Structure 1
Amino acid sequence: MPPRHDLHIPRQKHTRRLPSLRAWIGAGVMLFAAQAVLAHDASGETIQPVLKQAVPEAVGKNVLIATVTFAPGQTSDPHMHPGSIFAYVTRGHIESQLEGAPPRTYGPGEAWYEPPGAHHILARNASATEPAQIVVFAIAGEHDPIKKPIPK
């Protein structure tokens, strides 16, 4: 059946709804908070939080997602994580070593797991000329940091 051209379909006015003042203030607060949590670790790698979310099926636990960027040749200080860590390399090559295990170099698309409390004695960018980046997925208590120094 051919289309009918005699039908009159009124055109709707396109109205653009502007965000409310509350939305603008909320966005400003979130932007400020995001900038406030951008952290340069004491050893120099850049940790950029992406998401922190409570996990209903694990009361008192949060999932934390962050990107960690290493400058060429940069090494992180030995550290540990209070919760489980899953790390995924998105750029470059990272040499990583947990206490009691041999060092291993991971490239783009590779990942590793660190159990809670494991001592991460080596984390460094394997390249002296190119930056490297990982995405970290952490499960931790509500007030736990994503990483902390190894106790002496």
Structure 2
Amino acid sequence: MSMRRILVLTAALAFAAPGAFAHDDGAETVTPVMKQAVPEAAGKNVLIATVAYRPGQASEPHRHPGSIFAYVLQGHVVSQLEGSAARTYGPGESWYEPPGAHHIVSKNASSTEPAKLLVFAIVGEGEPVKLPIPAN
């Protein structure tokens, strides 16, 4: 195994927080790739992860405390922020979610093929990447 691969795997395990991975409840699979402090933004980290959806799978509505940049690696994903129309993104397409936006739809557009995203997130030290939308 290459040193680079060992370092990436070690880093992924070192910062994985409880709840960062899929559970038996049908949640999407989140796999950390890298986490790095950002010196020019004190207290902020960049997190890079993949998000995998099984055919027909969807995320629960949620929000992110920091900015999210998503890029489709495989398949097609339907994404909708509150106040905007739903849009289907395919391989090579990307979108941005501002901090606190309510992500009301995030799902695999296919009932037969998997989908996978690469996500770049800006998070505060000790903050979760994803939070449920508070009930009114």
Q: How would you bin the TM-score normalised by the shorter chain?
A: 0.7 to 0.9
Confirm whether residue 111 of structure 1 aligns to residue 91 of structure 2: no
Give the structure 2 partner of residue 30 of structure 1: 10
Deviation at residue 32 of structure 1 after TM alignment: 8.8
Runs of 4+ in structure 1 deviating by more than 6 angstroms, as ranges, are: none
Write the deviation string for residues 106-150 of structure 1: whole angstroms up to 9, x where unpaired: 000000000000000000000000000000000110111111101
Deviation at residue 43 of structure 1 after TM alignment: 4.5
SS at match of 1:39: coil
Give the structure 1 partner of residue 41 of structure 2: 58
Distance (whole Å) between structure 2 residues aligned to residue 77 and residue 132 of structure 1: 16
Percent of paired sites with the same residue? 63
SS at match of 1:33: helix
Deviation at residue 31 of structure 1 after TM alignment: 7.9
Gaps of 5+ in 1: 1-22
Contact 1:43 1:77 in 2 (8 A): no
Distance (whole Å) between structure 1 residues aligned to residue 125 and residue 114 of structure 2: 31
Cα RMSD between the aligned structures?
Answer: 2.4
Distance (whole Å) between structure 1 residues aligned to residue 47 and residue 11 of structure 2: 18
Gaps of 5+ in 2: none
2:49 corresponds to which letter in structure 1? Answer: A
Distance (whole Å) between structure 2 residues aligned to residue 126 and residue 110 of structure 1: 14
TM-score, normalised to structure 2, is: 0.85
Give the structure 2 partner of residue 40 of structure 1: 22
1:30 corresponds to which letter in structure 2? Answer: T
TM-score, normalised to structure 1, is: 0.76
Write the deviation string for residues 77-114 of structure 1: whole angstroms up to 9, x where unpaired: 00000000000000000000000000000000000000
Q: How many residues align?
A: 127
Distance (whole Å) between structure 2 residues aligned to residue 106 and residue 39 of structure 1: 23
